[in-house]
Amino acid sequence: MPDNHTLLTKSGTTDASQRIAVICHGHPSVAKGGAEAAAYALFRGLQELGIDAIFIGACEYGDRPRLALASEQEFAVYYDRERYEHFYHLAAPAVETQLLIILREQRITIVNFHHFYLLGLNSLRAVHDLPDVRCYYTIHEFLAICHNHGQMVTREAHLLCLQASNEACISCFPERLRTQFTMRKEAMRDILGAFEGFIAPSHFLAERFVHWGLPAERMTIIENGLLKVPSPPVRQRSEGTWTFGYFGQINPYKGVDVLLDAADLIAANQELAGTLRLRIHGNLVGQSQGFLDRFHEALKDHRFLSYAGPYNGASVYDLMSQCDYIVVPSKWWENSPVVIQEAFAVRVPVICTGIGGLAEKVRDGVSGLHFARGDAADLLRTMKLAADAKLADSLREGIPAVCTAMEMGRNYLKFFATERKAIKQWPRLVDGGS
């Protein structure tokens, strides 16, 4: 257990009983996104380090039967989606009230938000205004900057967006007023900018937010950790075939359509159709009828293409270990997709779009290969290049070690302890002790 040192609070007083709350816009028993997984891994990592921490996840009222809190240190705040304002991101007062009650009753002194979505910026402001509470914000995507689902992709042409501006945002949302985007940005920067520190899992993401207006001196880079890191399996590849697997959400931004385009190109070459295998894992719920029709038609037409259905955290490593490569064809910037860490955990190299956080996490020619965004022909070129035993072995050797939940927790504690020079907390953990 770490030494119990005191911590200077906002008011200048000291408190020997420090408690950390990790707060997210979903609980992983209900919501399976990367932010939820990272937040929960941090909570568990802090617990493994002996830190007094709780987890708070938002949950829609209708999802209460699915919610599975695993311990007395896990809590939920409930919301009604119809009472959430999606432009300025304001939640109903009941969400704010629930959150404040939990934090006060649990005597929380350090809060780490992993999103404002569904919780509401009003809730973040209320928590920040609590006396003797220090607030930190972990950035997972660009929703504070971009109203288009936080993707930084233009609404009509689906082009990558480098910088939000009133002109650019109005071109995507002509039904909005210029003053609305000005007010939205000012509200976001006012509330988030008041926090004591910011954490991003990639340099690319951090740089975008610093350029947007968050203070660079309060920003740090900490990789997301995996809750479970398996022992890498012994890979026995099938001779004569190469399996390329896709794992993740199936939506327009994740690039599954690029995989289907590549499948059409493979089908035109009998030799490739007998050598390459494409396997898609994910949930098809919520897709347009046009996409579903195309997807099922491709499955019917191409014997080398298969759909393995949804998967969960318990099965992902076994499924990935059956692949020679994991393909991440996202058409938005991404930041630090958990699928890359999961692939690296079982020593499977990654083929990804060479942009943003993807290009940062997968080193081209070292731990994987890059291809051009949205370009099925270039993806096929990369797959053909990858189907070489010598190169595959080299790429596996170049895969870096993944961050564990405990390592993630230790890095967060180090930031909490050193973000302000007056704070000296958890010295043994900061120095690498346990």
Please give the tally of structural domains in the chain. Answer: 2
pLDDT of residue 286: 81
Would you give the end-to-end CA distance of the chain in angstroms? Answer: 7
- The answer to whether residues 28 and 142 belong to one domain is yes
Asked if residue 338 is part of any domain, the answer here is: yes
- The answer to whether residues 73 and 148 belong to one domain is yes
- The answer to whether residues 251 and 363 belong to one domain is yes
DSSP bridge pairs for 56: 23, 75
Mean predicted confidence (pLDDT) in 114-119: 97
Mean predicted confidence (pLDDT) in 214-240: 85
Alpha carbons 100 and 127: distance in angstroms, whole number = 7
Asked if residue 145 is part of any domain, the answer here is: yes
Task: Give the amino acid at 78.
Answer: Y
- The answer to whether residues 80 and 50 belong to one domain is yes
- Nearest of 339, 320, 296, 270 to residue 37 by alpha carbon: 339
Contact 22, 68 (CB under 8 A): no
pLDDT of residue 235: 64
Structure tokens at 35: 């932010």
Asked if residue 236 is part of any domain, the answer here is: no
Backbone angles phi, psi at 222, to 5 degrees: -135, 125
pLDDT of residue 390: 96
Asked if residue 408 is part of any domain, the answer here is: yes
Q: In this predicted structure, which of 26-40, 243-257, 412-426 has the lowest mean pLDDT?
A: 412-426
Asked if residue 114 is part of any domain, the answer here is: yes
Contact 368, 67 (CB under 8 A): no
- The answer to whether residues 358 and 414 belong to one domain is no
Asked if residue 77 is part of any domain, the answer here is: yes
pLDDT of residue 14: 32
- The answer to whether residues 286 and 418 belong to one domain is no
- What are 119-135's pLDDT values in tens digits? 999 999 999 999 999 99
Beta-sheet pairing, 350-353 with 368-371: parallel
Residues with Cβ within 8 Å of 71's Cβ and at least 6 positions away in sequence, in order, are none
Q: With a cut of 50, say whether residue 349 has pLDDT above it.
A: yes
Structure tokens at 399: 């895969």
Q: With a cut of 60, say whether residue 230 has pLDDT above it.
A: yes
Asked if residue 1 is part of any domain, the answer here is: no
Q: With a cut of 70, say whether residue 365 has pLDDT above it.
A: yes
Alpha carbons 366 and 329: distance in angstroms, whole number = 18
pLDDT of residue 351: 98
- The answer to whether residues 88 and 168 belong to one domain is yes
pLDDT of residue 1: 30
Structure tokens at 108: 């929380």
Mean pLDDT of all residues belonging to the chain: 90
DSSP bridge pairs for 7: 15
pLDDT of residue 412: 97
- pLDDT above 70 covers a percentage of the chain that reads 91
Q: Band of the pLDDT at 420, cuts 50, 70, 90?
A: low
- The answer to whether residues 131 and 92 belong to one domain is yes
Structure tokens at 235: 């890979």
Backbone angles phi, psi at 16, to 5 degrees: -80, -15
Residue 198's SS3 state is strand
Contact 409, 42 (CB under 8 A): yes
Mean predicted confidence (pLDDT) in 182-210: 96
Query: Where do runs of H (alpha helix) occur along 143-202?
Result: 166-172, 178-192
- The answer to whether residues 193 and 284 belong to one domain is no
pTM for this entry = 0.90
- The answer to whether residues 224 and 274 belong to one domain is no
**Dihedral sign from CA coordinates of 427, 428, 431, 434:** negative
CATH code of the domain in which 22 resides: 3.40.50.2000
Query: Would you give the DSSP letter of residue 373?
Result: T
- Domain span including residue 49: 7-228+404-430
Alpha carbons 37 and 225: distance in angstroms, whole number = 9
| CB environment 348-376: b (16+ within 10 A), e (fewer) | bbbbbbebbbbbbbbbeeebbbbbebbbb
- What radius of gyration do the chain's Cα atoms show? 22
- Nearest of 135, 138, 136, 74 to residue 106 by alpha carbon: 74
Mean predicted confidence (pLDDT) in 85-111: 97
- The answer to whether residues 312 and 174 belong to one domain is no
pLDDT of residue 234: 64
Judged on CB neighbours under 10 Å (0-12, 13-18, 19+), 149 is middle
Q: How many CA atoms lie within 13 A of 375 on its CB side?
A: 15
What is the H or E stretch that residue 409 is in?
helix 405-418
